[in-house]
Structure 1
């Protein structure tokens, strides 16, 4: 009978959809890291996010066939995406990934089509980069559409087609605030306030844009409503160091492809509108430099518009994508990165 020293235990632990055999008798210094990187990027690129070091997180989904799946990818340079062989590390998940964000430089949060919210940690060591699941919680009852991290980087927001919004503690991965039936139809967009972690905007297929103040007994107030031309996305304007007046303005993306500029202090006043596309808008990303936003929708075009107190003007337009554009992220105030269902990542110098 083999001695206890030579006895080899077989440990099966699930990582995404894979199983591994780990020799627990191996000394730690000789143990090899599991390579979680999938063999290929899924066809449909759904989002990109960039941290302050310029590293890129990309989410992809497989939306055809009998089984849907997804994967996320981490690159140390945006120019290397979406190539598999040039990524630092990848991670396979069991369903599509509609949105994700950096909590900090080494922690990310993603929302999945199955309703799960997952926190992952990225480590870069001499033996290679690793992406490890810290916690996966099945809180939402339907697909998670949007993910936002608040300005203090301690909490995150998720919105879902189950009509609810949840606030998460990024340290404990627990839900600290549940806003069930936040909208009477699915949530389409979220935008955390640039300088106040208790304020955020949400949009829904019920035609409403709601301003949430979590310090109030009744936290929601309607700041925009259109039952005919429903809001698909929303964003605050300005940044954490911008003036308070700019911080009161927000931009709504509509099903008609139009942008509507509004102010939380003057709800009855339509400040400005702009016909960005002829199809429904999908995502709006505010430039770190106040007064400029990037726009995409169910179209191949990417637009950047300049916004003043009373007007919206086209600054930049690009149609190099060959399918719907889905992801927008600013690397800095002059560089925009986009991805789409054509499985390409493009860099735009504005």
Structure 2
């Protein structure tokens, strides 16, 4: 059984569970009506994690340059999730040098950094959660908001460029849009797709986002319009992930089940601007570099980190590293030519991706 099918099975089992979550401080809850707080009982998000779970599913950089990891334990019948914050790469995976950590109520599938010390989480329980560093106890992370609005696991989160909207997708075929000022779910597209929605990403317009699904479709959504989404593609290869090219009004990339990556333009919906065969296994995450928008980092169901220059029609794969020993799941650009990768081997590696690298070997991981 693949991880996706295992997550689907677990998500199906979770349907019908009570949508209950506890918060440590009532004063910090933005949506009190959605939360029940038993007396004298702390939230799960107030319990530090004393184990470094090796299956890292995501890594993000905050505005203060700290790194936040989604560390999960995907072994056995009971999966566990946690979040860890580190001040710098060299501190990973030390428990002592961890700025703060927290156990979550299920595995963490996606992280969106907000202000320094504050993050949004997408959870396999179907919950969307906001956590922040506790003022009274800086090594703790408090739950500021939690709501289990998806009927099964959350698959991805995306924040609009202006920070006003948060989109969440799930195994329940739905897309939800959250107002970040009130943390109310302002829009719900109940059957956005005919199957699990893998990924959502905003365009440079904060009202427009794209989604891709197990049903094979890539769709464009404009929240200002009452009409249904525009189908951009119906791929037999199956889209698994996507990303919008920074600074572009119309260009985006799609990762496919076949292991291919395609770059497309909204102005030319019926043709691929670029197609690159990257792996014999499904692509899981693709990420454009904000500082160098032509660079696209890619990871698949393998241990390889790849970087593609989308401006090149030939020899477009400019970087290739096989340093990891398990599936790569997290990608994070930290500079114009610096990439971090995180994997199920419990390591975070730094890669120097030059315009014409002489070697694809990444520096050794920080232990």
Q: TM-score when scaled to structure 1?
A: 0.85
Report if the CA contact (8 A) 2:102-2:140 is conserved. Answer: no
2:325 to 314, 322, 325: 322
Shift of the 268–78 alpha-carbon distance from structure 1 to 2, 3 Å rule, reads same
How do residues 328-343 of structure 1 correspond to structure 2 at under 5 angstroms? 328-343=331-346
Report if the CA contact (8 A) 1:49-1:102 is conserved. Answer: yes
Look up the match of 2:276: 274
Q: Secondary structure at the match of 1:13?
A: coil
CA distance in 2, matches of 1:295, 1:212: 25
Shift of the 223–293 alpha-carbon distance from structure 1 to 2, 3 Å rule, reads same
Look up the match of 2:28: none
Look up the match of 1:234: 242
| 1:137, distance to aligned residue in structure 2 (A) | 0.3
CA distance in 1, matches of 2:63, 2:351: 18
Report if the CA contact (8 A) 1:119-1:173 is conserved. Answer: no
Shift of the 309–161 alpha-carbon distance from structure 1 to 2, 3 Å rule, reads same
How do residues 216-227 of structure 1 correspond to structure 2 at under 5 angstroms? 216-227=225-236
Report if the CA contact (8 A) 1:100-1:147 is conserved. Answer: yes
Report if the CA contact (8 A) 1:273-1:312 is conserved. Answer: no
How do residues 148-159 of structure 1 correspond to structure 2 at under 5 angstroms? 148-159=158-169
CA distance in 1, matches of 2:134, 2:312: 43
How do residues 193-204 of structure 1 correspond to structure 2 at under 5 angstroms? 193=203, 195-204=204-213
Q: Which runs of 5+ in 2 are unaligned?
A: 1-38, 354-367
Q: Structure 1 stretches (4+) deviating beyond 6 angstroms?
A: none
1:177 to 184, 187, 192: 187
CA distance in 2, matches of 1:81, 1:170: 31
Shift of the 311–145 alpha-carbon distance from structure 1 to 2, 3 Å rule, reads farther
Q: Over aligned residue pairs, what C-alpha RMSD do you find?
A: 1.8
1:209 to 205, 218, 222: 218
Report if the CA contact (8 A) 2:58-2:109 is conserved. Answer: yes
Q: Secondary structure at the match of 1:79?
A: helix
CA distance in 2, matches of 1:233, 1:179: 19
| 1:298, distance to aligned residue in structure 2 (A) | 0.2
Shift of the 173–312 alpha-carbon distance from structure 1 to 2, 3 Å rule, reads farther
| 1:68, distance to aligned residue in structure 2 (A) | 1.8
| 1:330, distance to aligned residue in structure 2 (A) | 0.9
CA distance in 2, matches of 1:320, 1:267: 37
CA distance in 1, matches of 2:123, 2:70: 10
CA distance in 1, matches of 2:156, 2:88: 24
User: How many equivalent pairs are there?
Assistant: 314
1:39 to 50, 74, 77: 50
Q: Secondary structure at the match of 1:259?
A: strand
Look up the match of 1:29: none
Q: 1:218-246 deviations in whole A, cap 9, x for unaligned?
A: 1410112113x1000011112xxx3xxx3
Look up the match of 1:135: 145
Q: Which runs of 5+ in 1 are unaligned?
A: 1-10, 18-33
| 1:104, distance to aligned residue in structure 2 (A) | 2.2
Look up the match of 1:13: 41
CA distance in 1, matches of 2:186, 2:138: 35
Q: Secondary structure at the match of 2:102?
A: strand
Indicate the structure with greater strand content: 1
Look up the match of 1:253: 255
2:303 to 278, 300, 305: 300
CA distance in 2, matches of 1:53, 1:301: 29
